[in-house]
Amino acid sequence: MINLELPKKLKASANQAHQVAAEIFRPISRKYDLAEHEYPVELDTMAAMIEGLNDSGGDVGGAAGGRSEASTELLGNSNGGNMAALLNALETSWGDVGLMLSIPYQGLGNAAIAAVSTDEQLERFGKVWASMAITEPSFGSDSAAVTTTAILDGDEWVLNGEKIFVTAGERSTHVVVWASVDKSKGRAAIKSFVVPRDAPGLSVARLEHKLGIKASDTAVLLLQDCRIPKDNILGSPEVNVEQGFAGVMQTFDNTRPLVAAMAVGVGRAALEELRGILAEAGVEVSYDTPAYNQHAAAAEFLRLEADWEASYLLSLRAAWMADNKKPNSLEASMSKAKAGRTGTDVTLKAVELAGSLGYSQHTLLEKWGRDSKILDIFEGTQQIQQLIVARRVLGKSSAELK
């Protein structure tokens, strides 16, 4: 059974992440929101710190930090790398989501490496900074529609294709690229490849201008006869038609709870700011009085807080299941769907209830409203998550329920 009390060993790292959010991220949040695509040099200190802790065996960054420490035989309740990564994502996103996505060695590609790499690959790639390249101009949420190809040529894979909306695609040291090794075998032939940023044939076509998370770079990548070593394919190179798309989709079981945690983090920031504004306006939020007997703004605050709490608990459950080697595809999508929707609801409602103050740049509320929207889109949209949940609950395949 899941234990909802955080263990002491995770509280310490979560507190450290919160200090980073409060003392480094918050003070520079507006600066890099207004200076889109400018690299946050303040993060270089963090990069050195994370690299040093990794070298000393801390495993606070990279793929190793997202891989569960639990053995295959568990004794009741384990909280490992997935839970630690989730709490760190939550706390740093409380500070700034865009800056959180720019932390060196903490890319979404690292979670992909943790999900499907072999032990030998984890040793090689466990401490890199990896972004993740899935989406292409021809598709968005349908990850099975990958057209990028990977052809084996001697001891090298040759990749060709175009990837769009790659978070940290310019700054990361490596990119996890989804490509098909045999288009005739459909989605079962889609594999993940670790491509170094300096690999011949890999280039950045442009950086996107965005509504939010402006501190984070979002790149369009071109792969033109891009060559990488043969053993840079994550997991097994064999195409298992019976297994289908399940192998590479394991990535999302790790990353979706992390994105949910980001939404939980920015949602908590908005609730805290809103509560202070309401208090200054003389609106008291009471937990002893029925909502219908309170100020309308207080009643709305209670609704938002209840949704936020549900999102938080769903995210914890998904990460806990991953650490305890329990299939969590359903729970990962549930947490992402709930938290993504709640994050936008909470932040935008906070802007509304704060009135002109919320809409201005006097606070960070309007920025959090813009930042939170991406968390309901990337790693699978709200609609895709609900579709996955429906398939799992009803026992339907993707062919049976579209």
User: Is 300 annotated as catalytic?
Assistant: no
Give the burial string for 39-65 (b: 16+ CB within 10 Å, else e). Answer: ebeebeebeebbbeebeeeebbbbbbb
Pair type for strands 218-229 and 156-167: antiparallel
Pair type for strands 156-167 and 174-180: unpaired
CB 260 within 8 A of CB 339: yes
The amino acid occupying position 328 is: N
The amino acid occupying position 164 is: I
What distance lies between CA 321 and its chain's CA centroid? 17
Quick count: other Cβ atoms within 10 Å of Cβ 330? 16
Let me know if 93 is exposed, middle or buried by CB neighbors in 10 A (0-12, 13-18, 19+). buried
**Degrees (nearest 5) of the Cα angle 200, 205, 208?**
140
Q: Which two tokens stand for residue 232?
A: 């840079």
CA distance 111 to 262: 14
In order of 6, 23, 109, the CA distances from 65 in angstroms are 17, 23, 12
Q: Which two tokens stand for residue 45?
A: 């200190």
Query: Looking at 73, 300, 379, 400, which residue is catalytic?
Result: 379
Let me know if 153 is exposed, middle or buried by CB neighbors in 10 A (0-12, 13-18, 19+). exposed
Q: Which residues are annotated as catalytic?
A: 379
